[in-house]
Amino acid sequence: MNISEAAQEMLEKLWLEIVEDKKGFIDVKKLGNTNVVKELAKTRCITKSDNRVRFTPKGRNESRKIIRRHRLAERLLHDVLEVGEDEMESAACKFEHIISEGVEESICTLLGHPKICPHGKPMPQGKCCRERKKITERIVSSLSELKKGQYGKIVYILTKNHKNLQKLLGMGVLPGMTVEIIQRYPSHVFQIGQTQIAVDTDIANDIYVRII
Amino acid sequence: MGLSMKRTKTTSKKIKEESKHQCHGPVSENIEGLEKIVLIGNPNVGKSLIFNKLTGAYVTVSNYPGTTVTIDKGKCKIDGKYYGVIDSPGMYSLIPITEEERIAKFILLKERPKIVLHVIDAKNLERMLPLSLQLIEAGLPVIVVVNMMDEAKELGIKIDFIDLEKRLGVPTVPMVATTGEGINKLMGKLKRYSLKNKRQITFNKFIESSVKEIESCLKRDYSISKRAISLLLLQKDDDTIRMVKEEEGKRYGRINIIIETLLQNYSHPLSYIIKLRLQREANKIISTSMINVDIKKHTIKEKISRAMISPITGIPILFVILYFGLYQFVGVFGAGTLVDLIEGTLFGDKINPILTDFVRDNIPFESIQDLIVGEYGLVTLGVTYAIAIIFPIVGTFFLAFSIIEDTGYLPRLSLLIDRLFKKIGLSGRAVIPMVLGLGCDTMATMVTRTQETKRERVIATLLLALAVPCSAQLGVIFAILSGQPLALFVWFIVIMFNFVLIGFLAAKILPGDKPSFYMELPPLRLPKISNVLTKTYTRMVWYFKEIFPLFIIASVLIWSFQLVGLFKYILKGLYPVVNLLGLPDEAAKAFLFGFFRRDYGAAGLFEIQNSLTMVQLTVAAVTLTLFVPCIAQLMIMIKERGLKTALLMFFFVLFYAFAIGMVLNQILLVLGVGL
């Protein structure tokens, strides 16, 4: 679908407020730029009643895709290109508009189908995530999928499961550290510094590493 | 890791061989009113060894008030002045996950220590320093003890202590606790200690401004800096929140608003953000004060370790260890040779006849005579049992267990078996109580504390009560069924089947989260004989202190039941039940006594074995193994799990054991198995 970049930006904003903050609607006055609102209404992305702006299913789907592209771009910049936080944000804003659907899937797969963005917000899942196509070439992957003898640098840890996170933090398993996979069955064993640590698959799934 | 039970780690009055330095107090262990030195650090960094060296191991072990976690306390003399030394449970961070970590934190915050010794592993500075930084940040009087310098050196790690001390801003001491190297240096630093650490790590501006705001709301006096309290609040540490709520009352409402406002800007928990920042600081320190040549060698130890954790080689290794360590050493040597020697020769032929004659000749009333030397007398049953049977069996078991424990094998076994244990609602962590249960279910029930969730503790307790036979019981059952491999096989299969089935069902029924498994693997080590003996000794002491009185009570109970004739009625009531199992009336006695001492039931069976068919013996052995835990175990179950849960388990096990016995009897009869 062809909508302007400004309209795409606005869809992102709507997604954050309406979906992630679970507000359901947003006051039209908060949106400002009326031209863009008009464009979104015309392309049937939003509906407007009593000054309340809501998503149409189409608009919701569209903004979900944009958010996904934005956050994938962030991940790519953060995990692989190791771009600093400030730069990452502005670069991601440009990236999101030029990533096509096919490219999006390749990036997602390379990054091991990430579940959160670098800020910890949820990553909308794509078709590729659900199918989890196994491809050999990837750069980032969850620790549970690494093979014995592979090395990786931890790029991030899923922070949703608080207890698992605390355990990993406690043992000093943190982003930036290099791990070597010693064994993956029956438990995942990896070496970090001079210590070997064993975890179950649940916890190993929460650790994302860049393969080196 | 909670591998070795805290209470037994250091409790012995260890030989005073290392008493070069003037560091222990008189045997009186009361440390009330003394200024405190607290040892703190990750599990497996050698805290307890350093504690021993400081106190000379004149130690009391006590429960931390209101909890079941035990801690070691001792005394130490520095510059003519006595200090109380506390060895806290292993702790990974100031935000605790396990009960033990919580206690460690409480000790830090509540005891207002004069000095905190943070013991860290020289091989893993990178992972250990963040906690040091956190403690220093909190304004605690920290000395950082860098232990295992010898192992670090082997790996090519060099540490510049002058630089490290300068950068941390607190005293640091290199140490090899196993040999005592560095203890004198530590004593020197303790002598000269004065609090002056003022190191402060700055977080990003949002966090810093929130911290300032919270600080200004904290009006009460705390044992750690207000900054540290504020940071803990931001990390949503439950205990700190509770404490501040209590102390500040209404002001907490304001604090909460500050916290929630800040948290809105973050999708990651703040504990993650703060830990990352601490780690960055630690890395900065390491970058100048540590050189890692990284000697990469696959040592023979590493090869053995990998063989142990890979299923193909690990499972055979497990069986070898079980066969030699458990079956040959404990079963054949301990329960066979030693028991024959002590019970048969020493007590049976020498002590008991002499004593019996003496009592019968000198004490007037027959009932009193019986109390002492009768069939179930204090000496003939209670003391004989404890010394002649328990001592050799449990002693050899604890010896084998301590050796296995000190090699570092148990964490490896845990990870090997975690997947299987998950199916029965437990994690690999439960390996320790389960293996220990083969020695003594009572002690194992206590050790279920190390399990992470209540759900796991309940399942582990139930399985121990039902389907894990203790060493004393195993000894007798092996004796009865020996020479009948098929019967032994049936027994083994039925017990295993029930272990898995009940675990599986309990996991299905009990609410709560799935268990999770994470464990640090300590390096494999050759166990030190002195440490193994100390551990075995302290476990034995514990065993006799806790269990021995119960045997005496059991003897008195049986005796008084007999005196008033109550026994007969209970036995009569049991006849129909044992008949249902296809067993003769005499077997009832075995079941009744089985409650007082688990193996005695089996021993009762031993007496009448000649009059039983093999099917009957197999059914009886299975039922007795599953049958209710002994009286000591029941008491501990009540203490650990509460009266209601314990009684529920008790009655469940009671009925279940008989039900399985009945079913098994029918199956064996129908199949016409010619056992």
pLDDT at B462: 96
Chain segment A145-202, per-residue pLDDT in tens:
899 999 999 988 987 778 888 888 888 898 888 999 999 989 999 998 888 999 999 9
Query: Is B492 domain-assigned?
Result: yes
When divided into structural domains, chain A yields a total of 2
pLDDT at B498: 95
Polymer length of chain A: 212
3-state secondary structure of B21: coil
CB B131 within 8 A of CB B118: yes
Clarify whether residues B130 and B60 are in a common domain: yes
pLDDT at B4: 37
Q: Max Cα separation, chain B?
A: 89
3-state secondary structure of B74: strand
Query: Is B300 domain-assigned?
Result: no
Name which of B411, B531, B542, B547 is nearest B472 in CA terms: B547
A149 touches chain B (CB under 8 A): no
Pairing mode, strands A207-211 and B290-292: unpaired
Residue B431 identity (one-letter amino acid): V
Instruction: Please report how the helices B598-608 and B614-626 are oriented relative to each other, as an axis angle in degrees rounded to 10.
Output: 170
* Alpha helix ranges (H) inside B424-484: 431-437, 441-447, 454-467, 471-481
Clarify whether residues A112 and A147 are in a common domain: no
Clarify whether residues A147 and A199 are in a common domain: yes
Q: What is the distance in angstroms between the Cα of A93 and the nearest Cα belonging to chain B?
A: 19
Query: Is B301 domain-assigned?
Result: no
DSSP B330: I
Q: How far, in Å, CA of B211 to CA of B217, rounded?
A: 10
Clarify whether residues B172 and B211 are in a common domain: no
Clarify whether residues B172 and B212 are in a common domain: no
Pick from A159, A167, A187: which is nearest to B415 by CB?
A: A187
Q: What is the distance in angstroms between the Cα of A6 and the nearest Cα belonging to chain B?
A: 25
Clarify whether residues B435 and B558 are in a common domain: yes
Pairing mode, strands B290-292 and A188-192: unpaired
Clarify whether residues A159 and A99 are in a common domain: no
Task: Give me the CATH number covering residue B129.
Answer: 3.40.50.300
Q: How far, in Å, CA of B584 to CA of B612, rounded?
A: 8
Question: What are the CA-CA distances from residue A145 to residues A128, B151, B464 (Å)?
Answer: 16, 32, 36
Clarify whether residues B285 and B318 are in a common domain: no
Task: Give me the CATH number covering residue A8.
Answer: 1.10.10.10
Q: Which of A109, A137, A165 is the last residue before a domain boundary? A: A137
Clarify whether residues A100 and A170 are in a common domain: no
When divided into structural domains, chain B yields a total of 3
Contacts of B305 in chain A (CB under 8 A): 196
Name which of B180, B177, B174 is nearest B18 in CA terms: B180
Clarify whether residues B385 and B262 are in a common domain: no
Residue A94 identity (one-letter amino acid): K
Clarify whether residues B361 and B243 are in a common domain: no
Q: How far, in Å, CA of B150 to CA of B32, rounded?
A: 36
Identify from A173, A189, A199, A200 which residue to disrupt to test chain B contact, counting B C-beta atoms within 10 A and taking the largest count: A200
Clarify whether residues B217 and B343 are in a common domain: no
Query: Is B67 domain-assigned?
Result: yes
Q: What range defines the domain where residue B180 resides?
A: 6-191
Q: Which of A95, A110, A137 is the last residue before a domain boundary? A: A137
Clarify whether residues B453 and B367 are in a common domain: yes
Q: What is the distance in angstroms between the Cα of B269 and the nearest Cα belonging to chain A?
A: 7
Polymer length of chain B: 675
Clarify whether residues B330 and B266 are in a common domain: no
Q: How many CB pairs under 8 A join A and B?
A: 125
Contacts of A168 in chain B (CB under 8 A): 518
Residue B37's H or E segment, with its range, is strand B35-40
Q: How far, in Å, CA of A158 to CA of B268, rounded?
A: 9
Predicted TM-score (pTM) of the model is: 0.81
Query: Across residues A19-42, what is the average pLDDT?
Result: 84
| Inter-chain CB proximity B520 and A171 less than 8 Å | yes
Pick from A167, A170, A196: which is nearest to B521 by CB?
A: A196
Contacts of B95 in chain A (CB under 8 A): 166, 170
Q: Is the CA virtual torsion A14, A18, A23, A27 positive or negative?
A: positive
Clarify whether residues A162 and A133 are in a common domain: no
Q: How far, in Å, CA of B67 to CA of B238, rounded?
A: 17
A80 touches chain B (CB under 8 A): no
CB B619 within 8 A of CB B613: no
Residue B377 CB: number of other CB atoms within 10 A? 24
Task: Give me the CATH number covering residue A182.
Answer: 2.30.30.90
| Inter-chain CB proximity B517 and A189 less than 8 Å | no
Confidence of residue A79 (pLDDT cuts 50, 70, 90): confident
A121 touches chain B (CB under 8 A): yes
| Inter-chain CB proximity B514 and A202 less than 8 Å | yes
Task: Give me the CATH number covering residue B267.
Answer: 1.10.287.1770
Name which of B517, B314, B407, B423 is nearest A198 in CA terms: B517
Consecutive sets of 10 residues in chain B, 675 residues long: mean pLDDT of each? 36 34 43 87 85 71 51 85 89 83 87 92 91 90 94 89 92 91 92 77 89 91 88 91 90 91 85 90 90 71 92 95 88 84 83 86 84 77 76 88 89 94 94 88 85 91 93 78 84 95 95 89 85 81 78 78 81 88 85 69 71 86 84 86 94 93 91 65
Q: How far, in Å, CA of B393 to CA of B384, rounded?
A: 13
Residue B305 identity (one-letter amino acid): S
Query: Is B197 domain-assigned?
Result: no
Clarify whether residues B435 and B554 are in a common domain: yes
Q: How far, in Å, CA of B457 to CA of B290, rounded?
A: 42
Left (φ > 0), alpha (ψ -120 to 50) or beta: where does B285 sit? alpha
Tokens found for residue B430: 């439960």
Q: How far, in Å, CA of B625 to CA of B480, rounded?
A: 13
Contacts of B519 in chain A (CB under 8 A): 197-199
* Alpha helix ranges (H) inside B322-408: 339, 352-362, 366-373, 391-407
Q: Which of A83, A111, A137 is the last residue before a domain boundary? A: A137
pLDDT at B57: 57
Clarify whether residues A146 and A128 are in a common domain: no
pLDDT at B530: 80
Question: What are the CA-CA distances from residue B97 to residues A204, B239, B531 (Å)?
Answer: 18, 11, 29
pLDDT at B546: 74
Q: What range defines the domain where residue A130 resides?
A: 1-137
Tokens found for residue B263: 């948290």
Tokens found for residue A72: 């994938």
Name which of B250, B240, B225 is nearest B270 in CA terms: B240
Residue A207 identity (one-letter amino acid): I
Query: Is B305 domain-assigned?
Result: no
Reply yes or no on whether the pLDDT at A36 is more than 70: yes
Q: How far, in Å, CA of B23 to CA of B194, rounded?
A: 20
DSSP B523: P
Query: Is B1 domain-assigned?
Result: no
Q: In what order do the strands lie in the sheet with B35-40?
A: B60-63, B70-78, B81-87, B35-40, B115-121, B142-147, B172-174
Clarify whether residues A44 and A66 are in a common domain: yes
Q: Which of B292, B323, B357 is the last residue before a domain boundary? A: B292
Clarify whether residues A132 and A156 are in a common domain: no
Q: Which of B258, B292, B326 is the last residue before a domain boundary? A: B292
Identify from B131, B519, B524, B525 which residue to disrupt to test chain A contact, counting A C-beta atoms within 10 A and taking the largest count: B519
Clarify whether residues B210 and B118 are in a common domain: no
CB A146 within 8 A of CB A152: yes
Q: Is the CA virtual torsion A176, A177, A182, A183 positive or negative?
A: negative
Exposure string of A6-39, with b = 16+ CB inside 10 Å and e = fewer, is ebbbbbbebbebbbeeeeebbebeebeeeebbeb
A195 touches chain B (CB under 8 A): yes
| Inter-chain CB proximity B126 and A193 less than 8 Å | yes
| Inter-chain CB proximity B271 and A169 less than 8 Å | yes
Query: Is B298 domain-assigned?
Result: no
Residues with Cβ < 8 Å from B414, sequence gap 6 or more? Answer: A198, B427, B428, B429, B431, B432, B517, B519
Tokens found for residue B215: 């600080």
